[in-house]
């Protein structure tokens, strides 16, 4: 992560290529298995009606990830490091504790998702699938140790495998194109339950670990020596963010579209991923079900490896401590293995992990907006007043929705 790419004098696409990558790593958070159940449920229950929530969520994600990337470019520091500098030692320690809890919950969802993908594809016992997923995650870590650019390329390839998997599902599902367009650009609700589900889709948009990570991915990737160069780097990074978020948004939209075209159309409510897999096989054949399983597996493995990377960033940033990355992988593998051994429903475990995630959003989002709105910290890359106002509005909306969903989940 510390390797520095020198600015290229190339033109056209070759000029852009060195800047591409950080947003693709961060975008993995937006297609993790925790989003699958929500999107499948939304499509099966309300058809194409809630596609606009995906669209709106993506716009918010572009803004927030751009702030995180800009922080790293402008300061040469990541968000946890700045928190340690600007806040007291006690505050930084508490922020580290909650960040580690959030990352562990994130990794729980991602690891279980990968295990579930193997379980569905190969009809193996879930615990065996989990052990295979663990081996896969360690293999990805070894690739990361061999060079960050290689790891970045691997994650990008895995994202495109997920794209192909869901693209194939959309092709076979034959959705109503006009209904898709209408759903994307016509904000509406269909009763109180649809509002709650929309809140869940929107509230899960901003993942705390993606905010921490993106600032670390840009802080030393290409170093600008003056304000003009830093602005130039940021402009290229914006292109990276837009492309990556467009892909992540398309994947999430595809989940809703396929679910609407198959399940909603036939009056089938699907809330569990294993049920979705079975229904895909029954309705369109085993090959389409296989695409779903492959997408789930690759999304889980890629996002799990990114979670481990983020854990290293927050520990070094908040408290200036470090543990070997393989030891961190072992520690974060134990909870999902225990949950599977105890026979907990994987889809229910995913829901619980999202509740834990809701605790951490404010602790990442609020400092991010504070720092990027401070000219002494950001220099000429400081937020425009309108940007800060919109960011605070989004923060209040997302934090409020997550608190509401947390209340509803605990109540139920």
What would the pLDDT profile of 236-294 be if each residue is shown by its tens digit? 999 999 999 999 999 999 999 999 999 999 999 998 899 999 999 999 999 999 999 99
User: Is residue 363 predicted with pLDDT exceeding 70?
Assistant: yes
Rounded to whole angstroms, the Cα distance separating 354 from 242 reads: 25
Please give the residue that has the higher pLDDT: either 222 or 1: 222
Question: What is the distance, to the nearest Å, from the Cα of residue 65 to the centroid of all Cα atoms in its chain?
Answer: 11
Residue the block writes with tokens 């090959």: 287
206 confidence band (pLDDT: 50, 70, 90):
confident
Name the range with the highest mean pLDDT among 25-34, 200-209, 291-300, 365-374: 365-374
What is the tens place of the pLDDT at every residue in 146-183? 777 788 889 989 999 999 999 999 999 999 999 999 99
What is the tens place of the pLDDT at every residue in 386-404? 999 999 999 998 888 878 7
Count the neighbouring beta carbons within 10 Å of the beta carbon of residue 380: 11
Please give the residue that has the higher pLDDT: either 328 or 37: 328
CB distance 52 to 208 below 8 Å: no
Tokens of 271: 């809330």
pLDDT of residue 10: 54
Rounded to whole angstroms, the Cα distance separating 112 from 246 reads: 26
Cα angle, residue 54 at apex, residues 293 and 384 outer, rounded to 5°: 130
Residue the block writes with tokens 């992540």: 248
Rounded to whole angstroms, the Cα distance separating 389 from 107 reads: 32
Tokens of 264: 């909603």
Rounded to whole angstroms, the Cα distance separating 203 from 97 reads: 22
Q: How would you write the chain as a 3-class SS string?
A: CCCCCCCCCCCCHHHHHHHCCHHHHHHHHHHCHHHHHHHHHHHHHHCCCCHHHHHHHHHHHHHHHHHHHHHHHHHCCCHHHHHHHHCCHHHHHHHHHHHHHHHHHHHHHHHHHHHHHHHHHHCCCHHHHHHHHHHHHHHHHHHHHCCHHHHHHHHHHHHHHHHHHHHHHHHHHCCCHHHHHHHHHCCCCCCHHHHHHHHHHHHCCCCHHHHHHHHHHHCCCCCCCCHHHHHHHHHHHHHHHHHHHHHHHHHHHHHHHHHHHHHHCCCCCCCCHHHHHHHHHHHHCHHHHHHHHHHHHHHHHHHHHHHHHHHHHHHHHHHCCCCCHHHHHHHHHHHHHHHHHCCCCHHHHHHHHHHHHHHHHHHHHHHHHHHHCCHHHHHHHCCCHHHHHHHHHHHHHHHHHHHHHHHHHHHC
Sorted by where each starts, the structural domains of the chain and their CATH numbers stand as 13-411 (1.20.1740.10)
């Amino acid at each position: 992560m510390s390797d520095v790419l020198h600015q290229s004098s190339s033109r056209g696409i070759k000029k852009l290529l060195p800047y591409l990558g950080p947003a693709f790593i961060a975008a993995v958070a937006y297609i993790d298995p925790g989003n699958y159940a929500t999107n499948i449920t939304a499509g099966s229950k309300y058809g194409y009606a809630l596609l606009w929530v995906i669209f709106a969520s993506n716009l918010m994600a572009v803004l927030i990830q751009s702030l995180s990337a800009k922080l790293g470019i402008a300061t040469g520091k990541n968000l946890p490091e700045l928190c340690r500098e600007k806040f007291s030692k006690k505050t930084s320690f508490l922020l580290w504790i909650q960040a580690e809890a959030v990352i562990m919950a994130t990794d729980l969802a991602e690891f279980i998702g990968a295990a579930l993908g193997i379980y569905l594809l190969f009809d193996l016992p879930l615990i065996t699938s989990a052990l295979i997923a663990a081996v896969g995650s360690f293999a990805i870590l070894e690739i990361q140790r061999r060079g960050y650019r290689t790891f970045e390329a691997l994650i990008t390839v895995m994202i495109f495998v997920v794209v192909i998997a869901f693209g194939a599902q959309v092709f076979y599902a034959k959705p109503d194109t006009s209904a898709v367009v209408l759903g994307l650009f016509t904000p509406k609700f269909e009763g109180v339950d649809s509002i709650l589900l929309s809140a869940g889709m929107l509230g899960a948009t901003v993942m705390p670990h993606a905010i921490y990570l993106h600032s670390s991915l840009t802080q030393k990737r290409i170093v600008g020596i003056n304000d003009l160069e830093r602005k130039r780097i940021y402009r290229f990074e914006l292109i990276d963010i837009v492309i990556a978020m467009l892909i992540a948004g398309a994947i999430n939209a595809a989940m809703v579209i396929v679910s609407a075209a198959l399940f909603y159309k036939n009056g089938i409510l699907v809330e569990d991923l294993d049920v979705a897999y079975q229904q895909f096989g029954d309705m369109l054949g085993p090959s389409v079900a296989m695409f779903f399983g492959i997408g789930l597996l690759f999304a889980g493995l890629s996002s799990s490896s990114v979670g481990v990377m983020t854990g290293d960033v927050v520990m070094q940033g908040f408290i200036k401590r470090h543990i070997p990355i393989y030891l961190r992988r072992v520690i974060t593998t134990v909870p999902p293995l225990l949950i599977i051994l105890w026979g907990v429903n994987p889809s229910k475990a995913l829901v619980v992990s999202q509740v834990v995630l809701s605790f951490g959003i404010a602790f990442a989002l609020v400092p991010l907006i504070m720092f990027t709105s401070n000219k002494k910290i950001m220099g000429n890359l400081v937020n425009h007043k309108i940007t800060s106002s919109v960011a605070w509005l989004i923060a209040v909306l997302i934090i409020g929705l997550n608190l509401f969903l947390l209340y509803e989940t605990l109540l139920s």
